[in-house]
Amino acid sequence: MKVLVIGSGGREHAMCWKISQSPKLTKLYAAPGNAGIAEIAEIADIPAKDQEGLLKFCKAKEIELVIVGPEAPLTEGIVDRFEKEGIKIFGPSKFAAQLEGSKVFSKEMMKKLSIPTGEFEVFNSAEKAMDYVAKKGVPIVVKVDGLAGGKGVVVAHSMPKAMEAVHRNMVKKVFGKAGERIVVEECLEGEEASVIAVTDGTTVRLLASSQDHKRIFDGDHGPNTGGMGAYSPAPVVTDEVEKELLEKVFLPIVNEFKALGHPFKGFLYAGVMMTRKGFKVLEFNVRLGDPETQAILPRLENDLLEVFLATVEGRLSEINLQWRDEDCVCVVIAAEGYPDEYETGKKISGISAAKEDKAIQVFHAGTKRQNGELVTAGGRVLNVVGSGRGIFEALSKTYNAIEKIFFDKMYYRKDIGHKATKVLK
């Protein structure tokens, strides 16, 4: 069958890589894709936000299934639009995508369903928000309501930092409309993990657990990024925790959307904090995580295209997900200066050498071809992914592979996965 993957990052490259292995696939397209995706799919130079352009392309190429990678098209209603035109598309509706598109909607949904989460208040007034912060004290978390590319959350450990976050969001409007309302919530302590489910609106299947590393610097210091690395599985997510998450988080959410007349179809991602009092949900996303996807999919034994099809066609109950008994580590190589200002156009070398080890995959994020050469074209540039029998072997393979790759002013964290090694010691 003919498939279109929408998106251009490491997540979409990993998805394309896995889909390309399916015997059901006859032709794979990606829009807008990147230089790595171009090696396994035909690229359509159409932005992910251009619904009309994508729709026209799908009709011209007779696309049989569309898979949406990033969150923005989902929150803008691409699924509703394509389904109206009779095109099969994987992802939640615009209504369901509010779980990620609005932190306020998400937190209020958790409150309604008694899903464990941090104490919170919602504000549309900077003055009232600052009064609340002053009363509650620090540490405290300030989140913009709307989408901000993973950069709209500030964990403030000082009062000036907390006040600055409120001011930047609501007065300076750094994130525009996304920051017109904010959520101020308690700062939870513990070990963070990502648990993602796939659902057809009735059946729920949990993917392998993972842990993301959001901060730019080693030791979880510095500002938040889109993600600097991940590993799977996350040892803190035991079988017992997974069962509890399924019963207390995923099934209640899926059942609620079904009752509201808006069945949730697609990926439902719960960012959870494992506290001393058990898990608490930090946030929901309505798509696969990036870079969690890059660490999860190499472990999946199933035909991913069949999983997508079963979900869209409402027969996910026929699928039981199978996972390789191995660990997987993804380390993001970024441009120096990311997540702030950084340079692009740097020549990249060494990827072929890194991939000589069959346990290594290199997924592209911010890359392009320029005059026949592979160059950097974004903040997060490459994802080096290694698999092994246990976290130590996976880490060793991944970091050994990174040493073979080079571009001027490249940067990566040296401590991805170290939390897992501490849990297992």
> Which of 301, 318, 335 is at the close of a domain?
318
Q: Is the pLDDT at 404 greater than 70, yes or no?
A: yes
Co-location of 174 and 236 in the same domain: no
By C-alpha distance, which of 21, 2, 130 is closest to 67?
2
CB burial class (10 A; 0-12, 13-18, 19+) of residue 135? exposed
Average pLDDT of the segment spanning 169-174: 94
Structural tokens at position 393? 């072997």
| 31-51 pLDDT, tens digit each | 999 999 999 999 999 999 999
Mean of the per-residue pLDDT values of the chain: 96
Structural domains in the chain (count): 4
Co-location of 163 and 204 in the same domain: no
Average pLDDT of the segment spanning 307-312: 98
d(CA 185, CA 345): 40
Tell me the pLDDT band of 150, cut-offs 50, 70 and 90: confident
When comparing pLDDT for 27 and 425, which is higher? Answer: 27
Q: Is the pLDDT at 68 greater than 80, yes or no?
A: yes
157: in domain = yes
369: in domain = yes
Domain that includes residue 223, residue range: 191-318
103: in domain = no
377: in domain = yes
Average pLDDT of the segment spanning 3-25: 98
Co-location of 150 and 237 in the same domain: no
280: in domain = yes
Co-location of 335 and 314 in the same domain: no
> Which of 180, 215, 250 is at the close of a domain?
180
Co-location of 79 and 130 in the same domain: no
Contact between residue 115 and residue 252 where contact means Cβ atoms under 8 Å apart: yes
Contact between residue 381 and residue 333 where contact means Cβ atoms under 8 Å apart: yes
Co-location of 296 and 413 in the same domain: no
Q: Is the pLDDT at 423 greater than 80, yes or no?
A: no
119: in domain = no
108: in domain = no
> Which of 282, 300, 318 is at the close of a domain?
318
Q: Which residue in this structure is represented by tokens 């490249």?
A: 410
Question: Which pTM was predicted?
Answer: 0.95
The CA-CA-CA angle for residues 2, 313, 73, to 5°, reads 65
When comparing pLDDT for 184 and 422, which is higher? Answer: 184
Co-location of 350 and 390 in the same domain: yes
Contacts with 205 (C-beta within 8 Å, 6 or more apart), sequence order: 197, 198, 199, 316, 319, 320, 321
CATH number, position 261: 3.30.470.20
| 72-106 pLDDT, tens digit each | 999 999 999 999 999 999 999 999 999 999 999 99
Q: What is the pLDDT of residue 425?
A: 52
Average pLDDT of the segment spanning 286-290: 97
DSSP state of 207: P
CATH number, position 67: 3.40.50.20
When comparing pLDDT for 150 and 288, which is higher? Answer: 288
Co-location of 158 and 205 in the same domain: no
Biggest distance spanned by C-alpha atoms of the chain: 60
